[in-house]
Amino acid sequence: MLGFVLGYVVFTAYMAMTPKVSVIEFIVSMVFFGGGIFCVMIFSVVSQSMERIAFAEFQQRHNESHDSLTGLPNRRFLLQTINQHISDFETTQQRFAVATVDINNFNHINEIFGHQAGDSVLYQYSERLREFVEQDIFLARTSGNRFTFIITSPETTNVTQYIETIQAYLDHPLTINDHDVNLTSTVGVALYPEHGATAEDILKRSEIAMYSAKRIQVPYAVYEAASYRQFYDKVELAQMLQVAMENMDFDLYFQPVLNVNKTHKTTFEVLIRWPLGNGCSVSPDEFIPIAEQTNVIQQITRWVLKKTITQLAEWSEKGMSPHVQVNLSVKDIEDDSLEPFLSQLLKDYTIDPSQLTLEITETSMMQNPKKAQTVLEKIKKLGVSLSIDDFGTGFSSLSILSNMPIDEIKIDRSFVTDLLYSSNHEAIVRSTIYLAHSLECSVVAEGVETEALGQYLMSIGCDKIQGFWYGRPMNLAQADTWLRDVHMINHRVASQN
């Protein structure tokens, strides 16, 4: 086209300088004239189309990142922006807060006035929010009746005061179909970097804080780790567990067990903990079933066994040799490679196998009794003892029980706790003690919380007592102190005799 325009200009100049125009020259000039008009048309069509394409692209990008009702950025755009703040933090060290505002009882508005009125409320509410938040505050509509904004300098802005002011501003009636409707809101706040490492974490936790505030009926709340577990579903816990597994972010706790006839002998049950920070942790009752479903339980069991045996070796170097009980999962007693693994560990750390008992719940043993029997017999041959945990909850039959290579029965807490007040449970506990002794097994009562209960259990022949009365689960430092104390007492008693 450029060539054509150039040719046209040159030819026009030539024509202007030529006084007499021949027929050929006239025809050529007409061609150039028509072509020129054609070029101008093409040029204008092309430029208009380009403008339209650019506008459509802009519209598409805008629609992907904005909410169509309020025109505010959407959740996706918000997450991108939080991510940007997170990467800026590395250089600027600029903390920020994410606040989620939820309009209370919004569904009532939809139900009473209809969805169109509901949309109008959302639009007016968003306008109100937009008016309030300053220009540089990023505001998004994150879902139906929920808005989220970022406060970029929580050090200079008093966050809670800011939230109180915004709520006072927002919680005014709005007019719907000539009616004044009172609106209230609940706000949840999470801070970066204190409350999470990723944009998703921070946003989610501001929502969790908002839910906590609703639950305890306060207008706003700042995220607290303790509230966190109640709002994470199994899928999220499974994802978090995967991350914890990569670093083996677990701890071991040790609960002392009283050996009624050998009080000088210390026994600990090893209990796993998954700490989340801020002093709170996920209970094994919550995460072990997830670990079983996601097949990471084998790794956990091996980690617990290795850590326990390493600890036994350390205690042994200090002249202390407690007995330890480790819990196995249902998946472990279907796992043929557990026995060689354990055997190697015992050899590597030169641990006396009689220092170790493995606990299997009655329910897991009953899932596949034949397989359980084979695996347990192999383990038993290593010299390790075996205990049936939560006994009384798993419907085992006497014939199966008598074939299992077991050394101990642990009566489930549910029968023990109310023993002094329930004649049924008393009968169950007494007959379990009788049954266990007939099978040449010792008996442990779990969940003993009071001295009266402990004394009574001892009087009816219970061999071991476990529960908060004798001792709560302790961390390693506390278990170490417990062990040293028992060791010193034993030493003193021995030297007096």
Query: In the numeric block, which tokens belong to residue 34?
Result: 């028509």
Please, which of residues 27-86 interact with ligand C2E by CB under 6 A? none
**Binding of Ca ion by 74 (CB under 5 A):** no
Q: Which residue's C-beta sits nearest to ligand C2E?
A: 467
**Binding of Ca ion by 390 (CB under 5 A):** yes
> Which of 473, 478, 482, 490 is in the footprint of ligand C2E by CB under 6 A?
473
**Binding of Ca ion by 396 (CB under 5 A):** no
Nearest-CA neighbor of 483 among 273, 304, 315? 315
Shortest Cβ 308–ligand C2E spacing (Å): 9
Stretch that binds Ca ion, among 16-24, 324-332, 398-406, 421-429 (CB under 5 A): 324-332
From the list Ca ion, ligand C2E, none, partner contacted by residue 284 (C-beta under 5 to 8 A by kind): ligand C2E
Report the SS3 class of residue 18: coil
Note whether 96 and 157 are within 8 A (CB). no
Q: How many residues bind ligand C2E (CB under 6 A)?
A: 21
DSSP 250-267: -EEEEEEEEETT-TTS-E
Q: How many residues bind Ca ion (CB under 5 A)?
A: 5
From the list ligand C2E, Ca ion, none, partner contacted by residue 271 (C-beta under 5 to 8 A by kind): ligand C2E
What span, in angstroms and rounded, lies between the C-alpha atoms of 21 and 16?
10
The position carrying tokens 């390790």 is: 384
What span, in angstroms and rounded, lies between the C-alpha atoms of 420 and 428?
12
Nearer to ligand C2E, 101 or 290 (CB): 290
Query: In the numeric block, which tokens belong to residue 280?
Result: 């709170």
> Which of 145, 186, 212, 255 is in the footprint of ligand C2E by CB under 6 A?
255
Stretch that binds ligand C2E, among 221-229, 391-399, 433-441, 447-455 (CB under 6 A): 447-455
Other CB atoms within a 10 A radius of the CB of residue 23 amount to: 7
Please, which of residues 268-297 interact with ligand C2E by CB under 6 A? 271-272, 283-285, 288
> Which of 102, 207, 332, 359 is in the footprint of Ca ion by CB under 5 A?
359
Chain centroid to CA 214? 21
What span, in angstroms and rounded, lies between the C-alpha atoms of 148 and 140?
5
DSSP 65-116: HB-TTT--B-HHHHHHHHHHHHHHHHHH---EEEEEEEETTHHHHHHHH-HH
Stretch that binds ligand C2E, among 10-18, 74-82, 204-212, 323-331 (CB under 6 A): 323-331
- What does the binding site for ligand C2E look like in residue numbers (CB under 6 A)? 255, 271-272, 283-285, 288, 304, 327-329, 389-390, 446-449, 466-468, 473
